[in-house]
Amino acid sequence: MNYINISMLALALCLPGTALAVDIEALTAECESCHGPDGVSAHSDVPSISGQSKDYLDDSLHSFQVWGRPCIKTLYRQGDTSRPKTDMCKIASGLSDEDIEALSSLYSGKPFVAATQDFDPEKVATGAALHEKHCESCHSNGGSQAGRGPRLAGQWTPYLKATLKFVPTGEHLVPPMMERKIGDFSDEELNALMDFYASQQK
Ligand code: HEC
Ligand code: HEC
């Protein structure tokens, strides 16, 4: 047997082991080249993933695997930024259940850091009232609680707006109560809600 054949045999013997082990460093390097160090995003169209609940992160990644929510094509922000555009459906399709479990545990255990961003201070009270009436039951503590309904307070407004567009069309599956409400809101009401979430910067 020559060297190449021996190393291929060694590789074949190793594969079952390597397929099971989660290489968390390689995974997080991939995630953080868009979501930022520790999952805190510096880009307004990329959500922060740190401090969301484990259930929400786990469900979101499984949902991307089956196109249960749309995927927006996006460029890499760090590392080799010349890599072609990709999206979360493609990225999630490469993850095993063990990878998803490890990543969800890791990022849910890291602190959420609210984005520093502009908002209209005059609309915050209107947004807070709309939130209290229609959203607080699932996104509690003014949207700052990370649960099955994800944390909204301090998340990037451009990202939230982009993802909410897919709710009334049924492309991003959310509870029916939320879907109905989002569809009913005027742009002004939605903007006021966003101002309320963006105002929570601590
Ligand atoms: C090339 C950039 C890129 C990479 C790499 C990337 N993401 Fe994303 N991710 C995004 C963008 C942009 C969005 C928002 C758009 C969308 O939902 O399609 C997103 C959305 C998400 C969401 C949904 C967040 C929410 O609030 O609903 C999760 C969870 C997520 N990514 C986790 C990960 C994990 C874990 C990895 C690493 C395995 C990863 N991402 C790698 C760009 C990226
Ligand atoms: C009945 C419970 C419920 C109510 C009421 C509700 N939501 Fe949600 N919301 C959820 C759940 C659960 C998800 C996660 C869906 C998924 O798996 O992507 C979600 C997701 C979201 C997201 C996507 C967040 C992200 O990081 O991608 C936004 C934005 C949002 N909700 C805003 C609102 C607003 C604004 C209201 C009030 C008008 C509202 N929700 C009312 C349960 C609810």
Domain boundaries in the chain?
24-108, 121-199
The pLDDT of residue 202 is 87
pLDDT at 5 over 60: no
> What is the mean predicted confidence (pLDDT) over 1-11?
49
CATH of domain 121-199: 1.10.760.10
Q: pLDDT value at position 190? A: 97
Q: How confident is the model at residue 20 (pLDDT cuts 50, 70, 90)?
A: low
% of the chain at pLDDT higher than 70: 90
| Whole-number percent of the chain with pLDDT over 90 | 86
Write out pLDDT tens, residues 31-67. Answer: 999 999 999 999 999 999 999 999 999 999 999 999 8
Closest atom of ligand 1 relative to the 60 alpha carbon: 29
* Residues 90, 32, 44, 133, CA torsion sign: positive
Cβ(40)–Cβ(154) under 8 Å? no
197 close to 157: Cβ distance less than 8 angstroms: yes
Cα–Cα distances in angstroms (integers) from residue 128 to residues 20, 44, 114, in the given order: 46, 22, 17
pLDDT band at 19 (very low <50, low <70, confident <90, very high): low
* CA gap 161, 152 in Å, rounded: 11
Protein residue whose Cα sits closest to atom 35 of ligand 2: 135
The pLDDT of residue 21: 81
Question: Is the model's pLDDT at 17 over the cut of 60?
Answer: no
Give the CATH fold of the 24-108 domain. Answer: Cytochrome Bc1 Complex; Chain D, domain 2 (1.10.760)
Pocket probe for ligand 2: among 61, 66, 135, the residue whose CB has the most ligand atoms within 8 Å is: 135
Q: Give the predicted TM-score (pTM) of the model.
A: 0.92
pLDDT of residue 10: 46
Q: How far is CA 95 from CA 8, 57, 99, 134, 195, in A?
A: 24, 13, 6, 35, 35
Q: Is the pLDDT of residue 12 over 90?
A: no
**Any ligand 1 atom below 6 A from CB of 65:** no
**Tokens representing residue 21 in the block:** 């082990």
Q: Which residue has the higher pLDDT, 9 or 23?
A: 23
Q: Is the pLDDT of residue 9 over 70?
A: no
Predicted pLDDT at 142: 98
Region 81-105 average pLDDT: 96
124-134 vs 187-199: helix axis angle to the nearest 10? 100
Question: Which residue of 139, 145, 152 sits with most ligand 2 atoms within 8 Å of its CB, as the best mutation to test the pocket?
Answer: 139
CA 147 / ligand 1 centre spacing (Å):
18
Confidence of residue 74 (pLDDT cuts 50, 70, 90): very high
Alpha-carbon gap, residue 76 to 30, rounded angstroms: 9
Query: One fold for both 24-108 and 121-199?
Result: yes
